[in-house]
Amino acid sequence: MADIRSDTKMAIQLEQEGYDIYVNAAAKTTNALARTTFLGIAEREKTHIERIKRLYADLLGDTVNSKWIDEVSGNIDKGAIIRPILVNLKDNLDRQGDQIKQDFSKIYDLALTLEKNTYDLYKRLSEDPKNEEEIRKFYAALAQEETLHFQIFQETLKYLNNPEDFYHLEERWIIEG
């Protein structure tokens, strides 16, 4: 049980690091899409921190409450993550004037690396036979959500770097008939 406790503490630290980086990145950009994406993912990271802290408290008590884990371990809906980002994006675009072209590659590379590292940890924990089934389910759900975060960051970076090509690639079905 000591290994899962230290891994869970590491998970809290990774999520907190992600939250801090994303909030900081959002504060530094004038681009509405980048800002709302970072803030939207930061909110999800905050939710992860709360859930992982709850699991950690259970682990310290040597009893994992499977009921609340079952509630948070269901399928993750990408739309549920993107919806608040799009609502905030619309509000920000309405208020945004001319935006300065920024190079997003460094911060997005950092975000992608962080999401990948967090995914790798959660995937390992979800497959570790030493962990109880509830713990494996919990970390499998978090790994799934980290994959969605990674995809959202990839898609927004692709758009920010070249919006014309993004629409051409993503909407090719319109062109193809």
- Paired tokens of 79: 């739309």
pLDDT tens for each residue of 153-172: 998 888 887 776 655 555 54
Q: Which of 110, 84, 90, 87 is nearest to 28 (CA)?
A: 110
Q: Is the CB of residue 51 less than 8 Å from the CB of residue 134?
A: no
CB atoms within 10 A of CB 161: 13
* Total domains in the fold of the chain: 1
pTM greater than the 0.85 cutoff:
no
**72 within 8 A of 51, measured Cβ to Cβ:** yes
For residue 86, the enclosing domain spans 2-176
Q: Which residue has the tokens 């079952």?
A: 70
Q: Side chain identity at 104, as an amino acid letter?
A: F
pLDDT tens-digit readout, 56-84: 888 888 777 666 566 666 666 666 666 66
What averages of pLDDT result for each successive group of 10 residues across the chain (177 residues)? 84 94 91 89 93 88 68 63 60 48 80 94 94 90 93 88 62 46
Residue 66 belongs to a domain with what CATH number?
1.20.1260
Return d(Cα 130, Cα 145) in angstroms, integer.
23
Task: Please give the Cα distance from 49 to 11 (Å, whole number).
Answer: 8
